[in-house]
C-alpha cells in the first residue's frame, strides 16, 4: 500500500514566538518527539508497521482460550448449514447470514478447528485497521495513522477481534459505509457510491443492529447541518447588530457571541460535483438487493428468511428494552471505556470541543460517535463485545488532539470549566457516599472522566504536552492489551471476559478428542451430555455422531456409555442407574453455572489415568478393571491446535 500525501494538514512556518516556545518548554524531549513524530507521519512503512502490529497481536496464541459460548453456537449453526445446505435465518436470533457462510468456507478449507473458526474474524479485524488508514484523504495522515495505531493495540478491538462473533463484521461494514459517504462528499465518483452501497449491504447481512447505526448516521447529519446553520446565523446577527447599543441588544448578543467563540467555521464544506449517474445508482441498488435476497433466502432454499428480515425488529426491540438477563445500567459503556479504552475515552472527552474541528468528516464522526454511544446506552440489553461497533469514531478524535493543539481559551472559559468540574466531583462524592457506591471497576468512571477533562484542558494548551500524553495512552493501551489477551483472557473478573468458557472444559474434551486422533474408530463412541446450555460442546464434539444432549428431566433409557457429563443436581440420579466403572473429573464449563462431573468409562479411557483405580463403580458392576498401566506414548494432540 502506497500512502497518499497529506491533504488536510499543510506544513507552515510558525507565525509567532508563542507557538515556537512549545519546544523551548521541553529542551530535552522536544527535538526527540518532533523527530519521531515526523518519521511516523511521513514514512511509507508506517502503515505496514501498524498493520503488522495488528496482525501479530491478533494471530499470536489464537487458540489460547477455549471456544466462547457464542462461538460454540455459531459453529453449531455452520454444522447445521452443512447438513441442510443453507442457513435458515431466524428473526429471533438477531444475527445475519454472512458470518455463517464465511465460517463454512473457512472450515471447508482448513477443517473443523478453533483456528478455522476464528480466522475470518481475525482477518476482518485486521481489515478494520487497514480501513482506518484509508480515511487519510478525509481526516489527514496524522489522524488516520494515530487512529489506526490505537485500534491496532486496543484491548477491546484485539480481544473481540479474536472471537468468532458478528460484531467485527458490523464494524468493518459501518466503516466502509462512512468511507463511501465521505468519498462521495469529497470526490463524487462512482467508486465511493459502491463503497457506501456495499457497506450498507454488509451491515444488513451482518446484524440487525444496523438499523441503529443508520438512524444515528442520519441524525448526526441533521445535527451537523443545523449546527452549521446556527453558526452562520450567529455570525450574521453579530454583524448586523454590531453597531446597535443598549442593554437589550447586549443581552441578545450573549448567545451568538458564545457560539462564535466556541465554534470554528467548517473548511471546504461544499461537496464535490457528483460524476456518477442514475444508472450507477440503479446498478448499486440492484446488486445490494440481490445480495440481501440471496443470503437471507438461503440461496433460494428458504424464502421466508427474506420476510423474516423485516420481522426481526419486533423481538429485537423487545429484547433491547427488557434485557433478558443481559441488562446493564446506562453508564455501562462509559465504565468499560474508562477501564480499558483510554485513547477512546480521551477521544470522547475531546468531542466536547468538536465545534473546533474545521474538518467536516471529523466533526461529523464526533457527532455520530456521541449519538451512537447515547443510543447504545439507552438499550438495556448490553454485552461488552458491542463496544467495538461504536467507539471507533473516538479513535479519530483521539488522533485529532495532536493536529488541533495548541488549543487555548479565554481565562473565563477555564474558570467556568474548573467550577463545573469541581461541582461534578463534589456531586460524585456525595452520590457515592449516600448511595453506598462501592469502589468497583464500574463505579470509578466519573472520576476518570472528570480528571480526564481537566487534564485535557491543561495539555491542549501545549503541543508537546499533548503529543507526550498521546504516546503514553498508546503505550498504556498496548500494555493492557497484552495483559488481557495473553494472561487474563479467561479470568471472569475481567469485564471483557463475559460468559467465557473456562479452561476446565479441556479436562472433559481432551481425553475424548485425543483418543479419537489416535484411534479413529473412537469417533463412534457413545456419550451423554446431561446438563442445560451445553455450548460450546455441541461444536467441539461435532465430529462425534453418537453424542446426545439432554436438558431438564430428559435422560436416555440406558445411561451407561463411553463418557458422560452430568450437571451437579443430576449426579445422584445418574449414578443410581449406572453399572459400569468410570473415572470421574469435576468440570465447570463457564461462570454462572453449577459445576458438572465428567465420567470416562474405565475400559476405554484407562490409558489417560495411569496407575489409578476407577473413581466410581455402578451398583451391579461387571468385573472391575485393574489399575491402568502407564501409556507407552502419551497423546500430545490438543483440540485447539489440530483437527
Same domain, residue pair 398 and 527: no
Q: What is the mean pLDDT of residues 49-62?
A: 98
The dihedral sign for the CA sequence 400, 402, 404, 405: positive
> pLDDT (tens digit, 9 = 90+) per residue, 509-552?
999 999 999 999 999 999 999 999 999 999 999 999 999 999 98
- Provide the pLDDT for residue 94: 66
Answer whether residue 635 is part of any domain. Answer: no
- Provide the pLDDT for residue 8: 40
Q: What is the mean pLDDT of residues 278-297?
A: 97
Q: Which residues span the domain enclosing 552? A: 503-617
Same domain, residue pair 514 and 566: yes
Answer whether residue 396 is part of any domain. Answer: yes
Q: What is the mean pLDDT of residues 160-164?
A: 97
- Provide the pLDDT for residue 224: 93
How far does CA 82 lie from the centroid of its chain? 28
Q: Which residue has the higher pLDDT, 100 or 10?
A: 100
Same domain, residue pair 475 and 543: no
Helical spans, DSSP H, in 134-166: 136-139, 141-153, 155-159
- Provide the pLDDT for residue 139: 96
The answer to whether 599 and 609 are in contact (CB under 8 A) is no
Asked whether the predicted pLDDT for residue 483 surpasses 50, the reply is yes
Asked whether the predicted pLDDT for residue 19 surpasses 80, the reply is no
The answer to whether 71 and 536 are in contact (CB under 8 A) is yes
User: Each residue of 430-440: b (16+ CB within 10 Å) or e?
Assistant: eebeeeeeeee
- Provide the pLDDT for residue 312: 86
The answer to whether 565 and 596 are in contact (CB under 8 A) is yes
CB atoms within 10 A of CB 364: 24
Same domain, residue pair 510 and 367: no
Same domain, residue pair 478 and 533: no
Give whole-number Cα distances, 568 to 235, 504, 552, 572, 596, in Å: 72, 15, 12, 8, 5
- Provide the pLDDT for residue 165: 94
Candidates 212, 187, 213; CA nearest to 270 is 187
Q: What is the mean pLDDT of residues 246-267?
A: 75
Q: How many domains does the chain have?
A: 2
> pLDDT (tens digit, 9 = 90+) per residue, 558-569?
999 999 999 999
- Provide the pLDDT for residue 37: 64
For 250-316, the DSSP string reads HHHTHHHHHHHHH--PPBS-SPPPP---HHHHHHHHHHHHHHHHHHHTTTTT-THHHHHHHHTHHHH
Answer whether residue 388 is part of any domain. Answer: yes
- Provide the pLDDT for residue 638: 33
Torsion on CA atoms 299, 300, 302, 304, rounded to nearest 10: 120
How large a percentage of the chain has pLDDT more than 90? 72
Same domain, residue pair 333 and 474: yes
**Residue whose entry in the numeric block shows the C-alpha cell 479470568:** 491
Same domain, residue pair 115 and 71: yes
Residue 383 makes CB contacts below 8 A (sequence gap 6+) with 326, 498
44-53, 164-173, 437-446: segment of lowest average pLDDT:
437-446
Asked whether the predicted pLDDT for residue 12 surpasses 60, the reply is no
Same domain, residue pair 480 and 510: no
Asked whether the predicted pLDDT for residue 9 surpasses 60, the reply is no
Give whole-number Cα distances, 322 to 92, 316, 318, 325, in Å: 14, 10, 6, 8
2-6, 178-182, 225-229, 539-543: segment of lowest average pLDDT:
2-6
Answer whether residue 416 is part of any domain. Answer: no
4-13, 241-250, 307-316, 442-451: segment of lowest average pLDDT:
4-13
Answer whether residue 340 is part of any domain. Answer: yes
**Residue whose entry in the numeric block shows the C-alpha cell 490505537:** 150
CA angle 419, 423, 428 (to 5 degrees): 150
Same domain, residue pair 482 and 516: no
Same domain, residue pair 480 and 582: no
219-228, 303-312, 612-621: segment of lowest average pLDDT:
612-621
3-state secondary structure of 7: coil
- Provide the pLDDT for residue 412: 80
How far does CA 479 lie from the centroid of its chain? 18
- Provide the pLDDT for residue 40: 64
The answer to whether 188 and 275 are in contact (CB under 8 A) is yes
Spatial separation of the C-alpha atoms in residues 320 and 326, rounded to whole Å: 9
The answer to whether 168 and 128 are in contact (CB under 8 A) is yes
> pLDDT (tens digit, 9 = 90+) per residue, 576-619?
999 999 999 999 999 888 899 999 999 999 999 999 999 999 98
Candidates 397, 315, 329, 399; CA nearest to 363 is 397
Asked whether the predicted pLDDT for residue 126 surpasses 80, the reply is yes
**Residue whose entry in the numeric block shows the C-alpha cell 487497514:** 130
Answer whether residue 435 is part of any domain. Answer: no
Same domain, residue pair 371 and 509: no
The answer to whether 176 and 136 are in contact (CB under 8 A) is no
Q: Model pTM? A: 0.89
How large a percentage of the chain has pLDDT more than 70? 89
Same domain, residue pair 470 and 533: no
State the average pLDDT for the chain: 88
Spatial separation of the C-alpha atoms in residues 370 and 403, rounded to whole Å: 21
SS3 string, 207-225, reads CCCHHHHHHHHHHHHHHHH
- Provide the pLDDT for residue 82: 94
Cell, residue 376 = 447504545
Answer whether residue 126 is part of any domain. Answer: yes
- Provide the pLDDT for residue 17: 35
Residues in the chain: 643
Answer whether residue 640 is part of any domain. Answer: no
Candidates 560, 533, 563; CA nearest to 547 is 563
Q: What is the mean pLDDT of residues 311-320?
A: 81
Amino acid at each position: 500500500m502506497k500512502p497518499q500525501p497529506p491533504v488536510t494538514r499543510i506544513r507552515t512556518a510558525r507565525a509567532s514566538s508563542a507557538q515556537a516556545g512549545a519546544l523551548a518548554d521541553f529542551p530535552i524531549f522536544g527535538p526527540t518527539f518532533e523527530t519521531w513524530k515526523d518519521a511516523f507521519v511521513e514514512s511509507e512503512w508506517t502503515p505496514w508497521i501498524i498493520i503488522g502490529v495488528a496482525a501479530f497481536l491478533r494471530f499470536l496464541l489464537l487458540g489460547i482460550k477455549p471456544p466462547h459460548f457464542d462461538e460454540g453456537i455459531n459453529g453449531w449453526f455452520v454444522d447445521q448449514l452443512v447438513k441442510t445446505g443453507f442457513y435458515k435465518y431466524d428473526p429471533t436470533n438477531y444475527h445475519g447470514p454472512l458470518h455463517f457462510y464465511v465460517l463454512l468456507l473457512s472450515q471447508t478449507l482448513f477443517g473443523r478447528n478453533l483456528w478455522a473458526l476464528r480466522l475470518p474474524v481475525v482477518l476482518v479485524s485486521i481489515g478494520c485497521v487497514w480501513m482506518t488508514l484509508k480515511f487519510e484523504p478525509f481526516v489527514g495522515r496524522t489522524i488516520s495513522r494515530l487512529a489506526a495505531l490505537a485500534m491496532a493495540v486496543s484491548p477491546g478491538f484485539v480481544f473481540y477481534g479474536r472471537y468468532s462473533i458478528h460484531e467485527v463484521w458490523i464494524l468493518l461494514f459501518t466503516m466502509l459505509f462512512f468511507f463511501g459517504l465521505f468519498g462521495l462528499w469529497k470526490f463524487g465518483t462512482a467508486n465511493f457510491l459502491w463503497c457506501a452501497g456495499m457497506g450498507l449491504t454488509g451491515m444488513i447481512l451482518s446484524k440487525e443492529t444496523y438499523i441503529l447505526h443508520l438512524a444515528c448516521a442520519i441524525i448526526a447529519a441533521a445535527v451537523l447541518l443545523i449546527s452549521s446553520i446556527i453558526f452562520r446565523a450567529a455570525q450574521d446577527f453579530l454583524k448586523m447588530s454590531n453597531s446597535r447599543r443598549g442593554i437589550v441588544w447586549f443581552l441578545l448578543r450573549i448567545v451568538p457571541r458564545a457560539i462564535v467563540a466556541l465554534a470554528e467555521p467548517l473548511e471546504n464544506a461544499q461537496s464535490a460535483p457528483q460524476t456518477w449517474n442514475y444508472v450507477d445508482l440503479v446498478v448499486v441498488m440492484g446488486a445490494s438487493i440481490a445480495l440481501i435476497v440471496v443470503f437471507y433466502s438461503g440461496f433460494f432454499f428458504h424464502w421466508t428468511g427474506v420476510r423474516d428480515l423485516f420481522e426481526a425488529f419486533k423481538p429485537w426491540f423487545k429484547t433491547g428494552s427488557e434485557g433478558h438477563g443481559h441488562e446493564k445500567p446506562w453508564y455501562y459503556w462509559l465504565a468499560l471505556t474508562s477501564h480499558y479504552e483510554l485513547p477512546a475515552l480521551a477521544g470522547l472527552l475531546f468531542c466536547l470541543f468538536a465545534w473546533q474541528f474545521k474538518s467536516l468528516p471529523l466533526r461529523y464522526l464526533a457527532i455520530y460517535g456521541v449519538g451512537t454511544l447515547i443510543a447504545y446506552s439507552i438499550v438495556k440489553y448490553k454485552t461488552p463485545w458491542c463496544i467495538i461497533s461504536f467507539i471507533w469514531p473516538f479513535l479519530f478524535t483521539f488522533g485529532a488532539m495532536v493536529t488541533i493543539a495548541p488549543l487555548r481559551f479565554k481565562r473565563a472559559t477555564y474558570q467556568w470549566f474548573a467550577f463545573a468540574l469541581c461541582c461534578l466531583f463534589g456531586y460524585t462524592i456525595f452520590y457515592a457516599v449516600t448511595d453506598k457506591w462501592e469502589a468497583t471497576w464500574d463505579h470509578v468512571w466519573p472520576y476518570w472522566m472528570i480528571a480526564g477533562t481537566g487534564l485535557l484542558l491543561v495539555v491542549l494548551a501545549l503541543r508537546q504536552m499533548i503529543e507526550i500524553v498521546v504516546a503514553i495512552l498508546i503505550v498504556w493501551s498496548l500494555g493492557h492489551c497484552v495483559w488481557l489477551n495473553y494472561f487474563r483472557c479467561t479470568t471472569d473478573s475481567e469485564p471483557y471476559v463475559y460468559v467465557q468458557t473456562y479452561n476446565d472444559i479441556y479436562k472433559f474434551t481432551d481425553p475424548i478428542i485425543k483418543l479419537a486422533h489416535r484411534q479413529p474408530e473412537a469417533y463412534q463412541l457413545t456419550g451423554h451430555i446431561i446438563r442445560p446450555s451445553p455450548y460450546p460442546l455441541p461444536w467441539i464434539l461435532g465430529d462425534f455422531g453418537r453424542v446426545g444432549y439432554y436438558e431438564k428431566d430428559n435422560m436416555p433409557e440406558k445411561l451407561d456409555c463411553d463418557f458422560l457429563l452430568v450437571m451437579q443436581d443430576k449426579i445422584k440420579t445418574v449414578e443410581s442407574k449406572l453399572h459400569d466403572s468410570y473415572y470421574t473429573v469435576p468440570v465447570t464449563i463457564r461462570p454462572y453455572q453449577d459445576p458438572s462431573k465428567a465420567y470416562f468409562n474405565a475400559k476405554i479411557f484407562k490409558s489417560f489415568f495411569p496407575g489409578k483405580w476407577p473413581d466410581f463403580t455402578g451398583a451391579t458392576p461387571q468385573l472391575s478393571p485393574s489399575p491402568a498401566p502407564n501409556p507407552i506414548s502419551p497423546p500430545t494432540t490438543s483440540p485447539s491446535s489440530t483437527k
